[in-house]
Amino acid sequence: MKPEKPKNLGFKQIYFNLDKILFLFFLTFMMIEFVWLPSNSWIAGLLLRQTGYLFLSYNNIFAIIKGSPFISLALFILVIVNLLIAYYQIGLLFIGARHLLYHEKRTLLEYSRKVFRQSFLFMKQATLSKIAFIFFYVMMLFPLIRKILKIYYLNKIVIPDFIVDYVEDKYWLVGIVVTILALLLFYISVRFMFALPQLLFEKKQSKKQSDTV
Can you give the residue ranges of every domain in the chain? Answer: 1-126
Taking the C-alpha atoms of residue 13 and residue 104, their distance in angstroms, rounded to an integer, is 11
Predicted pLDDT at 93:
81
CA dihedral sign, ordered 76, 132, 25, 5: negative
Digit-coded pLDDT (tens) for 131-183: 887 777 766 555 555 555 555 555 555 566 666 676 667 666 776 777 787 77
Predicted pLDDT at 87:
84
Regions of the chain where pLDDT drops below 70: 1-15, 102-104, 138-164, 166-168, 170-172, 175, 189-190, 192-213
Q: Confirm if 23 and 109 have CB atoms less than 8 A apart.
A: no
Q: Confirm if 10 and 101 have CB atoms less than 8 A apart.
A: no
Predicted pLDDT at 155:
53
SS3 string, 110-143, reads HHHHHHHHHHHHHHHCCCHHHHHHHHHHHHHHCH
Predicted pLDDT at 194:
62
